[in-house]
Every structure is written in structure tokens, then in C-alpha cells.
Structure 1
């Protein structure tokens, strides 16, 4: 497994479970540097990033996913850590 910023390895439900566990561990440490450390801020950022994610993919020159997969869900969860 790579860093939490790389979600390409998240391909199955079991991978996502492992990823979320690692996010939880990171959230417990101040060194994680999360912008959104409270649940309400995290969920608001998750909502906002999900709403704006087409722009994220377009800005990276990547196709906008038309169907969610486990990796996209992991990317959404990671983005919510920092999205304002």
C-alpha cells in the first residue's frame, strides 16, 4: 500500500475497509494535517468536493467517472480531509 494520497490500489470493498481504517488512524494524529478535523467540517467538505469533482478530474486532464468505484470512493474520502 502506498500513501493515503494514492487511492489507485483501492479496488475491492476489503481494500476500502483497509483504506478507511488507515484514514481513521491518520485522523487520530496531529501529524495528519487534516484541514477538516471535526465530523461536521469533514462531511461538509465531502459534500462540497463530491459536488465539484467534475472540475477536479477535468483540471487533471482525466475523464470524469460516470460510475463510482471503490477507488473513487476512497478519493472522495481523502479529498474531504483537506477540501475547503
Structure 2
């Protein structure tokens, strides 16, 4: 099982499917530590992080991707677990 915190391994659609399954399993664990455990809070955080992702990449000294890839989508889904 790959790390959910490192999304660099998510390179294909099949990888993303596996990643989402792992997120689902983590979400069900009481000790997951997710900030946004309800669907409405998770989706709101996903929207907010996606809107603010320029800052995320700027803070890391990385260019903002012109086109999303499977890894970026996984990163967005992961960030929504904790983004406030």
C-alpha cells in the first residue's frame, strides 16, 4: 500500500482509483484525524483548496500546473481531508 501523503505515485487512472479506495478506508477509521469528516465539509474544503492552490504551489516554489494530472487530483483529494 502506497502512502496517502505522497501522491507522486499516482500516475494513471488506475492509480487514482486505488488512491481513492485507500482514502475511503482511511476516512472510515475513527483515528484518521481528518478535519473534514462529513461530505459537506469535505467538499467545501476541496473547493476552497482548489481555489487557493496557487498559494500552495507558490509557497513551495513550484509552478502552478497548467493542466491537472492524476497526481494533482490525488493531492487535491488529500488536501480536502484537512484543509480548513
What is the CA distance between 1:2 and its match in structure 2? 3.3
What's the counterpart of residue 41 of structure 1?
A: 41
Once residues 54 and 26 of structure 1 are traced to their aligned partners in structure 2, the CA distance between those partners, rounded to angstroms, is 27
Structure 2: give runs of 5+ residues left out of the alignment: none
| Residue 22, structure 1, aligned to residue 22, structure 2 | yes
Per the alignment, in what secondary structure is the counterpart of residue 31 of structure 1?
Answer: coil
RMSD: 0.7
- What TM-score does the superposition give when structure 1 sets the normalisation length? 0.97
Unaligned residue ranges in structure 1 (runs of 5+): none
How many equivalent pairs are there? Answer: 84
User: TM-score of the superposition, structure 2-length normalised?
Assistant: 0.97
